[in-house]
A and B are shown apart, each in its own frame.
Chain A
Amino acid sequence: MSTANTSPAAPTKVDLSSDQEVRWCPGCGDYSILKQVQTLLEQSGKRREEIVFISGIGCSSRFPYYLDTYGLHGIHGRAPAIVSGLRSVRADLSVWMVTGDGDALSIGGNHIIHLLRRNVDVNVLLFNNEIYGLTKGQYSPTSPEGAVTRSTPMGSTDHPFNPLALVKGADGTFIARCMDRDPKHMRDVLARADAHRGTSLVEVYQNCNVFNDGAFEVFTEKGSKPDHTLFVEHGKPLVFANGTKGISLKDMRPTVIDIGAGHSVNDCWVHDERDSFKASLLVRLFDDPRKPGGFPRPFGIFFVKDRPTHEAKLHAQLQAAWARKGAGDLDALLRGDHTWEIA
């Protein structure tokens, strides 16, 4: 395997901005994500040359151009495959993948699920804005049913994906959600994602202020945020609405309870990010919280599992082959098992 030809010492603080002007629309949620990723990496002690950003196509996929690291802006939907190949030959890098709801879940749907099941070591930032931005406003696979867009003047008839349920279904080993308007939380989640070995998938709710403004308003605005969001933390009870409400898991059914009125915090479901079964329930808390009986939308790290990465298993096989057959000899290969002489 190639190894990084790295500079001797990692600077404690570097400026990772590239010399390229950032060209997202003013007010786009992408700026916030770029800032947090940049800050996280600058503080991480990683050397810029060991960081690689791979992206597909879409607004979010311009991301690699704005960081002074290695970057490859690929083709629509195929970033997971590019990452899989890169990772297979380079175990030494910090690899990040930037994608959007259309890129990852529509045209790249077949690649993202295989990336997850293989558990390739990469941090995936899935910018979800529930719209196609770069093509100017068509509905995406995460747009809600009924969404009126340029391609659905009478409203979308498609049922949307629940992205994290899809990720859980594909046996993702790190599943998290955050939002552009809560940068500190985002940075904490990203730091954990970076530390995880395997495919870390972080869904980021990102506001497209041009084509789908306010899609996540109910989760981001001060007035509605407490009642409609649920920030989960490992080992802590699921409480929201400034501690006045919680979620119980009595008889394995999530139920919203009022804390104080006959219930206490002790009745709440305690989040265990290692519990696969509970994570499967958590990702299903996905209905519109404004509707009667609706659950608040969870944010945070839903699930973490240690499972060997694709490349670790691959290299274990290479090692085993070396151990069994010895280092490859090209002449032995050309000769094969069966020869004869013509004198």
Chain B
Amino acid sequence: METPAKPKTVEPRQNVVILFAGDSGDGIQLTGAQFTDNNALFGNDVSTFPNYPSEIRAPQGTLAGVSGFQLHFGSVEVFTPGDRCDVLVVMNAAALKANLHKLKQGGIIVANTDGFDRKNLRLAGYPEGTGDGDANPLTDGSLEAYKLHSVDVTKLTRAALEGTTLGMKEKDRCKNMFVLGFINWMFSRELDNSERFLEHKFGRKPELMEANRRVLLAGYHYGETSETFTTRFEVKPAPMPKGTYRSITGNQGTALGLLAGAQKAGLDLFYGSYPITPASDILHELSRHKNLGAITFQAEDEIAAIASAIGASYGGAIGMTASSGPGIALKIEAMGLAFMLELPLVIVNVQRGGPSTGLPTKTEQADLWQAVHGRNGEAPIPVLAASTPVDCFEMAFEAVQLAVEHMTPVILLTDGYIANGAEPWRFPSSKDLPTITPNHIKSPNDGDRFLPYLRDARGVRPWALPGQAGLQHRIGGIEKQDGTGNISYDPANHEKMVRLRAEKVARIADRFRPIRLDSGPPEGDLLITGWGSTYGAIRTAALQLQAEGYSVAHVHLRHLFPFNKGLGPLLKKYRQVLVPEMNSGQLRQLLRAEYLVDARGLSKVQGLPFTSEEIHNAALELLTLNASAAAPATQA
């Protein structure tokens, strides 16, 4: 970049939360993702939260149509996309109205004035004024508590494209590049990466690439030359562990974890799936990796998706399926079959707001009970949960490992929040991933006979594949005789089989690593117990409470069924237990039932993730209820 004509001040910041908001057709997600990339490349730690309506093009200009992308980047480690934002970029009046409450006092607003005309103001529900402009929040003084920068993005974009052959519609579609350019200037970032991105995206359409590039530069130069902007910010690189990084979303992490698991098991991957928000990106990702032997099958419905995966596992591949909310509900009968057959299978539930169709694009953790209990008969299936986008990789890998090595379906719970959120990933080398050993069998296991349900010491049955001579056998969903697998309605045999299957799954806990606190003292006043995507918010709150002198620890559960054997003893080492969940208390009840522990709950069922402040406050309330014991040492 050329040096600015007139030097402006550069203000250092430790971390910044910026929220881009506009119509769902404004290119908000792309702008956010691009700026995220730039910061990650620069060396910041980043965490993102895309939040968009379920309609592809919701009515323009309305509150319902607002799409948002929140980014938290810092010179320190960041664990969440941030509770409240420092900078709010709004493309229209609805975006301002929907998001103003998230802006910190004194925060910066960058507003596209063109999105604040009478029509947009009316659609956003601002009161009709008596004269021109008096109801416009950009001009009526109502935003005095903030630093407001009004920019006519549309006009400036069109001006930058003067003389090109693009139509007005195509010109206006470049608006988001103006914003991206300007924000990059504001945070002292280079544009090289964004320019490379445009070359890649519009490589075959040089005219569009050039137009976008011009607008990107125009946005940047506008920051430099405009008199109204006197301050730039700078967020220095974070002290991240040395290494090579890439950016990864939770759904990508899940897809890669599944693929890596299949590779380390030496198995073909078969992924049966039916399109559903927010799980479809796993299908999209896997379908790109056919050269790694990934077979994707877009089934006719959710039931066929899982049933085909069962067929593939029967044939010797590792069968997988993923869905969300109502789609998972449809798969439950087949989960019972996979459990009964004792075949490896991975089922990923990218949870979303429920019940029924619920809130398709919003996040929730309300399918825990369904995962743990939701089948006919006694059909315990291991349930894992991922806590961050990167953790999606780890847990998906582990799901494959457990499924293949223990001959069982495994459920992995993620959710819309981490599925779409991104973070930097110091990705592993393939040689650092453990080898997964399928329980294959080569010859009959009972003299000349093959007994498909003869178990080893772990209670695991052998995996004989069609085509293997001498191992022909029949399996099915009907209760089977121990050992032979033949149909049996014998009462005592049924009870025995129910017990054997349950014991096999329970024994999986034997291999879990000892439970580990995420932070805090090994015993004390309060243990915050979380699972899944609440990780970042709980970690932030716990670290803050510890810094404030409270005796608070944080444990984050990756295994929801069976639980880690160290969990029971750990819970008893704290005077109180708090379980924050994006549901009405599902883990809390499981903990109470299992361990007779008086766990307290913190519920949020709004389709939105927790803020760390909410968790901090709830913890503080519990601590101060028992003030005598809980008062921090440093408190007067």
With A and B bound together, what is the CA distance between A322 and B290 in angstroms? 8
Binary flags per residue of A1-25, CB closer than 8 Å to B gives 1, else 0: 1111111000000000010100000
With A and B bound together, what is the CA distance between A65 and B480 in angstroms? 12
Q: Which of A48-56, A251-259, A291-299 contacts B (4 or more CB under 8 A)?
A: A48-56
Q: Which of B159-167, B469-477, B573-581 contacts A (4 or more CB under 8 A)?
A: B469-477
Q: Within 8 Å of chain A (Cβ to Cβ): is B311?
A: yes
Query: Given A2-B467, A81-B304, are A74 and B242 neighbors across the interface (CB < 8 Å)?
Result: no
Q: Within 8 Å of chain A (Cβ to Cβ): is B611?
A: no
With A and B bound together, what is the CA distance between A339 and B319 in angstroms? 30
- CB A97 to nearest CB in B, in angstroms, measures 11
Query: Given A50-B466, A85-B311, A90-B466, are A328 and B41 neighbors across the interface (CB < 8 Å)?
Result: no
Q: Within 8 Å of chain B (Cβ to Cβ): is A318?
A: yes
Point out the residue from A81, A114, A328, A335 that lies within 8 Å of B291, measured CB to CB.
Answer: A328
**Contact of A6 with B467 in the complex, beta carbons under 8 Å:** yes
Task: Report A-chain residues with C-beta under 8 Å of the C-beta of B293.
Answer: 318, 328
With A and B bound together, what is the CA distance between A209 and B171 in angstroms? 75
With A and B bound together, what is the CA distance between A28 and B67 in angstroms? 63
Task: Report B-chain residues with C-beta under 8 Å of the C-beta of A93.
Answer: 315, 466-467
Task: Report A-chain residues with C-beta under 8 Å of the C-beta of B300.
Answer: 81, 110-111, 113-114
Query: Given A70-B473, A334-B260, A342-B240, are A4 and B468 neighbors across the interface (CB < 8 Å)?
Result: yes
Task: Report B-chain residues with C-beta under 8 Å of the C-beta of A20.
Answer: 474, 486-487
**Residues of B contacting A: mostly:** mixed
A-B contact count (CB 8 A): 220
Q: Within 8 Å of chain B (Cβ to Cβ): is A260?
A: no
Residue among A78, A85, A320 with most chain B CB within 10 A: A85
**Contact of A68 with B472 in the complex, beta carbons under 8 Å:** yes
Query: Given A81-B311, A327-B291, A333-B289, are A114 and B304 neighbors across the interface (CB < 8 Å)?
Result: yes
Task: Report A-chain residues with C-beta under 8 Å of the C-beta of B429.
Answer: 331, 334
Q: Within 8 Å of chain B (Cβ to Cβ): is A261?
A: no
Point out the residue from A70, A111, A114 that lies within 8 Å of B472, measured CB to CB.
Answer: A70
Query: Given A74-B477, A330-B260, A342-B245, are A110 and B291 neighbors across the interface (CB < 8 Å)?
Result: no
Point out the residue from A50, A320, A322, A331 that lies within 8 Å of B467, measured CB to CB.
Answer: A50
Beta-carbon nearest neighbor of A91 in chain B: B315
Residue among A69, A92, A340 with most chain B CB within 10 A: A340
Q: Within 8 Å of chain A (Cβ to Cβ): is B133?
A: no
With A and B bound together, what is the CA distance between A85 and B297 in angstroms? 8
With A and B bound together, what is the CA distance between A73 and B480 in angstroms? 12
With A and B bound together, what is the CA distance between A113 and B300 in angstroms? 10
Query: Given A92-B467, A342-B237, are A73 and B477 neighbors across the interface (CB < 8 Å)?
Result: yes
Task: Report A-chain residues with C-beta under 8 Å of the C-beta of B304.
Answer: 78, 80-81, 84, 110-111, 114
Task: Report B-chain residues with C-beta under 8 Å of the C-beta of A1.
Answer: 268
**Contact of A331 with B244 in the complex, beta carbons under 8 Å:** no
Task: Report A-chain residues with C-beta under 8 Å of the C-beta of B336.
Answer: 75
Task: Report B-chain residues with C-beta under 8 Å of the C-beta of A341.
Answer: 243-245
**Contact of A342 with B241 in the complex, beta carbons under 8 Å:** yes
**Contact of A75 with B334 in the complex, beta carbons under 8 Å:** yes
With A and B bound together, what is the CA distance between A83 and B312 in angstroms? 8
Binary flags per residue of B276-293, CB closer than 8 Å to A gives 1, else 0: 000000000000011111
> Which are the 9 A-B pairs with shortest beta-carbon distances?
A4-B467, A73-B476, A328-B292, A85-B311, A85-B308, A81-B307, A321-B290, A81-B304, A82-B311
Residues on B close to A: CB < 8 A? Answer: 37, 40-41, 43, 237, 240-248, 256, 259-260, 263-264, 268, 270, 272, 289-293, 295, 297, 299-301, 303-305, 307-317, 319, 333-334, 336-337, 341, 426-430, 465-478, 486-487
